Amino acid sequence: MKDALIKLHISVFLAGFTGVLGVLIHMNEGLLVWYRIMITVVTLFALLKWKNQLQEVSSHMVWKLLGIGTLIALHWVFFYGSIKMSNVSIGLVCFASTGLFTALLEPVFNERPFSWPDVGLGLLSLLGIILIFQFDTRYRDGIIAGIVSAILAALFSVLNKRQVQKVEPRTMMIYELSGGLLILTLLMPIYLHYYPVETIFPSLSDWFWLLILSWLCTVLAMDLMLQALKKVSAFTQNLSLNLEPVYGILLAFILFQENEKLNTSFYAGVALITVSVLFQMIRVIRKHQQKSNI
């Protein structure tokens, strides 16, 4: 359990950079995610083929993984849309509501007992978001997009939990992201019709940041996260991911001076989210200690 929590929090730290990279990459959210997934899929496929580590998977499982992968792709589109409609801090803090949605969805899909403490901690995070939403109306569109991204992330994580014991993490990742790449490729003509751009090709600086986003914040981070998910619940994973806003917001403060644009309701909301994460980690550690003593 200890190793799983360490891997989980390394992946969370890497994920904290994704919001900042969303600002540094000067592409709209649809193209940004398409390139992110394309680079990741090509890299992973080449790596697994070279090391002869691509696991054979039944056709039935392949279709499952492709379907689940569409959720993570759509989650990323809404996540970066939230950032581009508001700012890094708002987009990241909305992600904290993933804990609540996971607490509600996991008992339904994974046959776990319904947990009121999980719901309570998720509601505490949601209350933090409501504080920001209610008292800072400049970012409402970004907040709504952020909440949609959190719902999709929760559904992805819950469904992933059912498959993670059956397929090796990197193989699972490549099939899921291939599903995400496929759905975005099919939707891209419609997307670009409503959100036209001058060019669909990244600039040199965009390529650099896209490679960082794909190799470190996607391949490495997702690999560690999938390994951790074998030991921890989807709820613990997602509530731990609430630390992602903390890392990302600190970076946004340093790089973009976003702290000058935010009011006291934002900081009150972040405080509630941080408290919910700390309480959940205390609960996880105590449960593990009790099992060890039995």
- So where are the chain's domains? 2-293
Confirm if 146 and 82 have CB atoms less than 8 A apart.
yes
Residue 103 predicted with pLDDT over 60: yes
Using CA atoms in the order 75, 78, 79, 80, what is the torsion angle rounded to 10 degrees? 130
Characterise 55 by phi-psi region: left (phi > 0), alpha (psi -120 to 50), beta (else): beta
Two structure tokens written together for 26: 């000067």
Classify 232 as helix, strand or coil. Answer: coil
Which DSSP string do the residues of 113-175 spell out, in sequence order? Answer: PP-HHHHHHHHHHHHHHHHHHHH-GGGHHHHHHHHHHHHHHHHHHHHHHTTTTTS-HHHHHHH
- Closest Cα partner for 283 from 210, 232, 242? 232
Residues in the chain: 294
**pLDDT at residue 239 is higher than 80:** no
Q: 136: which residues sit within 8 A by CB, 6+ positions away?
A: 262, 263, 265, 266
pLDDT tens digit string along 137-151?
A: 778 899 899 999 999
Q: What CA–CA distance (Å, rounded) separates 68 from 147?
A: 19
Nearest residue to 51 via CA among 163, 164, 166, 170: 170
Alpha helical stretches, state H, 195-263: 204-214, 221-229, 234-240, 243-256
Q: What is d(CA 178, CA 42) in angstroms, rounded to the nearest whole number? A: 10
**Mean pLDDT across the chain, nearest whole number?**
85
Residue 255 clears pLDDT 90, i.e. is over it: no
Average pLDDT over every residue of 232-258: 76
> What CA–CA distance (Å, rounded) separates 15 from 221?
7
Q: What is the pLDDT of residues 13-27, one digit of tens each?
A: 888 889 999 999 999
Average pLDDT over residues 268-289: 75
Question: Residue 236 has which token pair?
Answer: 């613990």
Q: What angle do CA 74, 96, 107 make, to 5 degrees?
A: 80
Instruction: Fill in the amino acid letter for 74.
Output: L
Q: pLDDT for 65-102, tens place per residue?
A: 999 999 999 999 999 999 999 988 888 878 777 877 88
Looking at residue 291, its pLDDT comes to 65
pLDDT at 294 over 60: no
Residue 293's pLDDT band (cuts 50, 70, 90): low
